[in-house]
Amino acid sequence: MRLRSVCSLVFLSAVALAQTKVLQPQQTLNLRVHLGSNESLSNDSQCDSQGNTFATIFDPAEDQPGDRPLLMFDSAGKLKARIATSRKSLQLAPLDAFEPSFLLPGGEVARLAWAKDAVFLVKFSTDGKLESRMALAAPAFTPHYFVIFPEGEIFVSGLQRPKMKIFNALYAPDGRLLKRLSLPEDQAIDEAVRRGDIRYTPAAPISGNRAISAGRLRLGDDGNAYLMRSTSPAKVYVISASGELLRSLDLEPPDVGQTPRGMQLSKTRIAVEFCSDRCETTELAVFDANTGRKVSGFSHEQIFGSLSCFTEKPEKFTFLTVNDDQNLERITAVAK
């Protein structure tokens, strides 16, 4: 019996090793956008179905520190549009705030901007021009991410002010509040933050809760929202357009204690970047979107950046990074 157990462990170890692949750059493209000394790249870069890449740039030294322009690059790396921040368009106060974006199917972009007592859904055309703006119903909250379902419902997740507790809500296309959602672990996370738990208490007070600020929200090919909390293991909630919690997944990190820093979806797979402490190194894992089972793992020691795209078939990953000359680069990587 002992020999059989040892053999089983050896077999499982061999399987785990076989599933770990090494990512290598297939193409590195200089996007010809130079960042200033104070500018940085948001970790939440994305791609759309047309091959465009979107990167949010932040410069805390600007006159309007809350303004975070969204840059749109085509598949060849050409800058197609610089989508103006909705805070300037709305003439809101210069607050250091998050302004999450969502890519609409037709190539337009929606963003959330918040003022003292309101949150606005703002839409831009493909060339970056302001098309519309709409206030969401009370209460006021700080948005961290959102998705717009195919029929127009808006699902948001962030922190309600002033107590900065977790806030999840479903809105109608016209901005009416339809439903608030309390997810299973939210109360425990809020309580942990109240106690000053270092797992969730961020260095920047405005973030309020690292489980939220470092999480992600994506719209799946199945039409459901995939909401990830930055916990260990990573918790992912699958939520329908009616606001129903369909299932929850526990995504185990490659190493104990690691937390996620990025997530992308492709068909039936979820790709997640994990890291420890200051995220000086990251590891990548792919999971089954229905069961949460780990499908494969990847090491990418030579590639460090924001995971912006992932395709299941063919298996390919795209990262945005800033090179030594402060230029934006897009790196496409495959396992070899």
> Can you tell me the distance from the alpha carbon of 228 to that of 209, in angstroms, rounded to the nearest whole number?
14
Whether 1 is covered by a domain: the verdict is no
User: Per mean pLDDT, which of 207-221, 233-247, 276-290 is the most reliable?
Assistant: 233-247
2 within a domain of the structure (yes/no): no
pLDDT of residue 199: 83
C-alpha 72/C-alpha 202 separation (Å) is 30
292 against 261, higher pLDDT = 292
Structural domain boundaries, residue 110 = 14-335
Scored b (16 or more CB within 10 A) or e, 202-213 reads beeeebbbbbbb
Please, which pLDDT band fits residue 196 given cuts at 50, 70 and 90?
confident
**Six token digits for residue 34:** 């130079």
| pLDDT at position 197 over 70 | yes
Q: State residue 5's pLDDT score.
A: 40
CB neighbour list of residue 85: distance below 8 Å, 6 or more residues apart: 64, 66, 67, 68, 69, 70, 99, 111, 113
- 285: CB partners within 8 A, 6+ apart: 251, 253, 254, 271, 272, 274, 294, 296, 297, 298
**Domain CATH code at residue 210:** 2.120.10.30
User: How much is the pLDDT for 57?
Assistant: 82
| The pLDDT of residue 110 is above 80 | yes
Q: 177 in a domain, yes or no?
A: yes
Quick check: is 8 in a domain?
no
* Burial category of 220 from C-beta neighbours within 10 Å (exposed 0-12, middle 13-18, buried 19 and up): middle
Q: What is the predicted pLDDT for the residue at 224? A: 98
Q: pLDDT per residue over 36-90, tens digit each?
A: 887 888 878 899 888 899 998 876 555 454 567 789 999 999 999 888 765 655 5
Average pLDDT score over residue span 89-107 = 72
CA atoms of 57 and 206, how far apart (whole Å)? 18
Q: Is there a contact between 73 and 79 (Cβ–Cβ < 8 Å)?
A: yes
The 3-state DSSP class for residue 323 equals coil
Q: Could you give the CA distance from residue 198 to residue 36 in angstroms, rounded to a whole number?
A: 32
List, for residues 318-334, the tens digit of each pLDDT value.
999 999 899 999 999 99
Position 6 scores a pLDDT of 39
Instruction: Answer whether 4's CB lies under 8 Å from 314's CB.
Output: no
Pairing of strands 20-34, 294-299: parallel
| Burial annotation 154-165 (CB, 10 A radius, 16+ → b, else e) | bbbbbbbbeebb
| Res 200 pLDDT > 70 | yes
pLDDT at position 17 is 41
Asked if residue 243 lies in contact with residue 170, where contact means CB atoms within 8 angstroms, the answer is yes
Decide if 160 is inside a domain. yes
For 171, phi and psi rounded to 5 degrees?
Answer: -115, 150
Give the pLDDT score at 59.
Answer: 66
How many domains is the chain partitioned into structurally?
1
pLDDT: is 257 or 250 the higher one? 250
Strands 165-171 and 130-136: unpaired
pLDDT higher than 90, residue 247 = yes
Question: Is residue 78 a part of any domain in this protein?
Answer: yes
Mean predicted confidence (pLDDT) in 285-294: 97
Per-residue pLDDT of 2-36, as tens digits, reads 444 434 433 344 344 446 788 888 999 999 898 88
The verdict on residue 3 lying in a domain is: no
Check pLDDT > 50 for residue 172: yes
Q: Determine, yes or no, domain membership for 267.
A: yes
What integer pLDDT is reported at residue 179 of this predicted model? 96
